Structure 1
Amino acid sequence: MAKIAYILLCHKDPEAIIQQAEQLTAAGDYMAIHFDGRAAAEDYQRIRAELAGNPNVAFAGKRIKCGWGEWSLVQATLQALRSAVEEFPRATHFYMLSGDCMAVKTAEYARRFLDEHDKDFIESFDFFESDWIKTGMKEDRLIYRHFFNERKHKQLFYWSHGLQKRLGLQRGIPSDIQVQIGSQWWCLRRRTVEWVLKFIRKRRDVIRFFRTTWIPDETFFQTLVRHLVPEAEIESRTLTFLMFTDYGMPVNFYNDHYDLLLSQDFLFARKISPGAKELKSRLGRLYAAQGVDFQISNEGRSLYRFLAQRGRIGRRFAPRFWETESTLGRERELLIVVCKKWHVAKRLLGQIRQVTNIPAIEYLFNEEDTALPDLGGIQAALMKRTRHRRALLRMLFEYYGTDQLIICLDPAAIDLMDDFHSDRSSTRFLHIECAFSDDYLIGHAHRVGLAGERTPQLTLERLLPTIRNDILHESDRIRDAGYSQLYHLREGASPVENASQLSGFLNVSGGKAMEIAATHCLFDD
């Protein structure tokens, strides 16, 4: 059975470190600790004294003074890793942790998971081809030498970087390695760790290269593991659940996140808020527990993304700037059906096609597989359609040889509605207002990834009011947008009332509008 040696990098809060070490070793696992060389010596001595009687705890042979983004973090990891390999010969896996991490599964579960998955768990994506780095320096991390810490000596850091660029002092990457990038929170098998340690003893050129790269803890182990281990034996993911805000800051977890954390498909979570005493206490007791049944739903990231992006007007962002230099054409009419229940809008469009000759296209800005003609590639992907939306619609008008076109939009696409409404063409909107049962909202949560098959009922009950209010807010925004030609089709209205609205929206006779309004089971789920 798997036995884990935890590699703990830490720099503060000796009491929490002692507690973390005792909790993780109580179930028979191991821990090797590196306490930052810049931290107080008395804190380090306290940790050593408190854990001196614990045979499952070891310490790095040398304390390194660590700095964010520096080689020192890799150096500290290697110091702790060497101690763990030497002190714990029965350890089968080595798992990187920080002082902000806590287990969200039992030791029993973790060992069974590792036994069933004989792989190395480490994020490793191609440095140059992937989009893992979202903003800031990318290639320059590698091809220039970085001697100063960007956070502590910002002016020197950018002066040195700029000087090398002006003088053309680029350097090559070792020819036989392909640089990878990913999270520094990994779990590696013993054989892999031994291969890595053997490799760096032989390849001093690789060490010299990474010593002066920027943020090497995101590239060093990721690159070496890919270089040494067959691809089939690598799972390119971390077993530590962590999330980041839009500003690149780690999301903190608090007391009310206990159930959420346990339902994620991860063994640990980071970062636990220092003030979340109850959460820390409950998670601390969890690791040594036995017979715990975990219901994995894994909706944490999508749920956070949904909640975090709900702001005030815009609900998160200010109105976007869209292209204004082009128009659909002053003589053209764009008819937009807006409905949250896509199947209802599609059912309505099917009837409109039968009764009128107006070309009607379903959710072309929401669904990748919407049926579209070949327009030279502009229709190929959602991102491209949205970026070139006016050009796309002009081409569709021309393709169908018409001055009238119907499209469907989700109510969340208020930015697209605003953009089309501002065009010189005549734009009319039909807002289909549906009733939303709890069962429908639960299904919606599953469809968009806010919930999984095993999401606890309590979590769903907490989530439903948020989803319902979000849908209502989208409807309010449409009503408040001031669209000059906005019509409403309501589930609770009579066919006569709905026919009146359809007549104005489609500019058709009352008879045709009634034929469409009387569509059988139009609002059925």
Structure 2
Amino acid sequence: MTRIAFILLCHKDPEAVIAQARGLAASGDAVAVHLDARAPRAAWDRLRAGLKGHPGVALVERRHRCDWGGWSLVAATISALRLALERFPEASHFYLLSGDCVAIKSAAHAHAVLAAEEADWIESVDFFDGGWIRTGIREERLTRWHPFNERARKRLFYASLDLQRRFGPKRRLPPDIRPMIGAQWWCLRRATIIAVLDFLDARPDVRRLFRWSWIPDETLFQTLVRHLVPRDEIRSRSPTFLAFSDYGMPATLHDDHHDMLLAQDALFARKVGLGAGRLRARLRDLWASGRRDFPQGGDGRRLHRYLTGRGRVGRRFAQRAWDSGGTIGAGRDLMLIVAHKRHVAKRLAGSIKHHTGRAVVDYLFDEEEAALPPMGGFERGQAKRSRHPRAVLRVLYDLFGTDRLAICIDPARLDLVGEVLKDRAAVRVLEIVTPIDDAYLHLHAIRTGLAGADAPARELWLPALRRQFDEESHTLAQAGIAAHYRLVDGAPAGDNARALQAFLDCSADAARGIAETPHLFDD
């Protein structure tokens, strides 16, 4: 039988912690609470009074003064784990939470998920090669001593680090330990917790390694679980949903994230903003609800990046100089078929090939799988093709043995339009204008991972997506491309034929045949 012992780390707001602990224990689970020793005495007294006598809740009496990034957070976690092992012998799993976490599934659902697999849920990737750390020091988190806390004593932290860089040798890592890193929030089986604590007791060298490292809560358990548990019993992802800003800081969740959160493949989420009272209220009773019919949503992290990125002003992540290489060359024509509805553009591309024999390539810069001839490795992967787009196009001209090439691109790739306009080739654009309704936006969101099949949180992403489409069309119109033609759904075939004839520089009969392609604009 699955019973979870929650390890609840908190530092403020005793009333919220009392409600959180009681709510989690109401389903028959257990909670071991550690309150930061920096909290006022009145907060500790209120917490003890509010949870006194509750059989499913235990308080860590010998509390630690917790500093972000320091060993104290690990020490507090270990103290709470030892207490939970002793007080709750029936607990099968131990789930680390903070006071900012909220349940986004029911206890019944969580128990079923944990019972379905004999596994530990903890993000654990290679410390040196995993690319997990976004900002700040990296290898030196482990290879230097960190007696000072960077946030509390910044000058001493960096002075100590500078002295070690100048005069001190790097720390030697235990030869049998492969450092790993991942999110702090995990759920581990009882046997795993016992094995980790026993290992720390038996290996003071490993304990010292993490005791004097920086941000050990992201490395100690992640390393030791991988060291002690077979690979096939580890699910290397956190069971708690959390999104990060591009500065590597946890993103804050608000009231309008409710539907998106319930659709994530996670059991809890953090961190909820102080002002998100409606979100907390809606999720407060979910844990004990017994609900099992949760929607399957898209990637919430990707959705968060998309929405925050849409709010930017300027082009902070503009292309670097070394990312553009090669030229298409003078005397060549590049015809860009620009369409939000990719299936319409692909139909048009097929019809152009049929009626004119022109070289036409589908979305080679927008889709991973593109029908391309062998290109010496260029064709393997969208990222590689997008790194040097003009060089890729030059190779295609040579392979097709032509000076005229048509390609399909998504309006979101207006950066590519700007890139080719810098070239000496003659550029023409055919914009396919079609009505975009909510149903199509829904399908587009699913295809790009912004939403799942059940399309949760439509009010969150739908307006932003529609604004994006409108902005892309407006930006294309303002680009000042002289040879800019439009193929319009619902326009007379004659008008569309004239646009196609000018765009393709083909015969009137061929243009008419393309314009009258059966079901060209059908969804």
Task: Name the structure 2 match of 1:500.
Answer: 498
Whether the aligned pair in 1 keeps the contact of 2:335 and 2:405 (CA below 8 Å) is yes
CA distance in 2, matches of 1:473, 1:257: 24
In the TM superposition, what is the alpha-carbon distance from 1:21 to its structure 2 partner? 1.3
Name the aligned partner's letter for residue 494 of structure 2: V
Whether the aligned pair in 1 keeps the contact of 2:184 and 2:217 (CA below 8 Å) is yes
1:81-480 matches, within 5 Å, as 81-167=81-167, 169-291=169-291, 293-311=293-311, 317=316, 319-321=318-320, 326-455=326-455, 459-460=457-458, 463-480=461-478
In the TM superposition, what is the alpha-carbon distance from 1:356 to its structure 2 partner? 2.5
CA distance in 2, matches of 1:218, 1:351: 55
In the TM superposition, what is the alpha-carbon distance from 1:271 to its structure 2 partner? 1.1
| TM superposition score normalised by structure 2 | 0.94
In the TM superposition, what is the alpha-carbon distance from 1:399 to its structure 2 partner? 2.3
| CA RMSD between the two structures | 2.1
In the TM superposition, what is the alpha-carbon distance from 1:514 to its structure 2 partner? 1.6
After superposition, the Cα gap between the structure-2 partners of 1:76 and 1:453, relative to the gap in structure 1 and judged at 3 Å, is: same
Name the aligned partner's letter for residue 378 of structure 1: F
Tell me if 1:77 matches 2:80.
no
After superposition, the Cα gap between the structure-2 partners of 1:17 and 1:371, relative to the gap in structure 1 and judged at 3 Å, is: same
In the TM superposition, what is the alpha-carbon distance from 1:462 to its structure 2 partner? 6.4
After superposition, the Cα gap between the structure-2 partners of 1:173 and 1:436, relative to the gap in structure 1 and judged at 3 Å, is: same
Name the aligned partner's letter for residue 16 of structure 1: A
1:2-41 matches, within 5 Å, as 2-41=2-41
CA distance in 1, matches of 2:175, 2:317: 46
Name the aligned partner's letter for residue 467 of structure 2: N
| TM superposition score normalised by structure 1 | 0.94
CA distance in 1, matches of 2:219, 2:462: 41
Whether the aligned pair in 1 keeps the contact of 2:348 and 2:514 (CA below 8 Å) is yes
- More displaced stretch, 478-487 vs 147-156: 147-156
In the TM superposition, what is the alpha-carbon distance from 1:244 to its structure 2 partner? 1.6
CA distance in 1, matches of 2:226, 2:249: 28
After superposition, the Cα gap between the structure-2 partners of 1:293 and 1:464, relative to the gap in structure 1 and judged at 3 Å, is: same
In the TM superposition, what is the alpha-carbon distance from 1:297 to its structure 2 partner? 2.8
Name the aligned partner's letter for residue 495 of structure 2: E
Report the secondary structure of 1:413's partner residue.
helix
- More displaced stretch, 404-413 vs 356-365: 356-365
After superposition, the Cα gap between the structure-2 partners of 1:480 and 1:105, relative to the gap in structure 1 and judged at 3 Å, is: same
Report the secondary structure of 1:412's partner residue.
helix
Report the identity percentage: 50
Report the secondary structure of 1:7's partner residue.
strand
Task: Name the structure 2 match of 1:522.
Answer: 520
Unaligned runs of 5+ in 2: none
CA distance in 1, matches of 2:518, 2:34: 69
Task: Name the structure 2 match of 1:483.
Answer: 481
Residues 271-314 of structure 1: per-residue CA shift (max 9 Å, x gap): 11222223222322222223553333355333333322223666
Name the aligned partner's letter for residue 233 of structure 2: E
In the TM superposition, what is the alpha-carbon distance from 1:461 to its structure 2 partner? 6.7
Name the aligned partner's letter for residue 484 of structure 1: A
Residues 167-198 of structure 1: per-residue CA shift (max 9 Å, x gap): 35112211111111111100011111111111
Whether the aligned pair in 2 keeps the contact of 1:61 and 1:80 (CA below 8 Å) is no
CA distance in 2, matches of 1:383, 1:302: 17
CA distance in 2, matches of 1:290, 1:515: 60
Name the aligned partner's letter for residue 247 of structure 2: Y
In the TM superposition, what is the alpha-carbon distance from 1:101 to its structure 2 partner? 0.6
In the TM superposition, what is the alpha-carbon distance from 1:317 to its structure 2 partner? 4.3
Name the aligned partner's letter for residue 329 of structure 1: G
Name the aligned partner's letter for residue 206 of structure 2: V
After superposition, the Cα gap between the structure-2 partners of 1:519 and 1:317, relative to the gap in structure 1 and judged at 3 Å, is: farther
Whether the aligned pair in 1 keeps the contact of 2:242 and 2:250 (CA below 8 Å) is yes
Name the aligned partner's letter for residue 344 of structure 2: V
Name the aligned partner's letter for residue 487 of structure 2: L
Residues 436-481 of structure 1: per-residue CA shift (max 9 Å, x gap): 344333322222223223335xx44765444333222211111112
Aligned residue-pair number: 522
Residues 24-62 of structure 1: per-residue CA shift (max 9 Å, x gap): 122222111111122222221221222122122212242
CA distance in 1, matches of 2:465, 2:433: 16
Report the secondary structure of 2:452's partner residue.
coil
Whether the aligned pair in 2 keeps the contact of 1:487 and 1:505 (CA below 8 Å) is yes
Report the secondary structure of 2:307's partner residue.
helix
Whether the aligned pair in 1 keeps the contact of 2:324 and 2:387 (CA below 8 Å) is no
After superposition, the Cα gap between the structure-2 partners of 1:290 and 1:383, relative to the gap in structure 1 and judged at 3 Å, is: closer
Whether the aligned pair in 1 keeps the contact of 2:7 and 2:96 (CA below 8 Å) is yes
CA distance in 2, matches of 1:65, 1:207: 19
- More displaced stretch, 426-435 vs 57-66: 57-66
Report the secondary structure of 1:146's partner residue.
coil
Residues 462-505 of structure 1: per-residue CA shift (max 9 Å, x gap): 65444333222211111112222211111121221111111221
In the TM superposition, what is the alpha-carbon distance from 1:400 to its structure 2 partner? 2.3
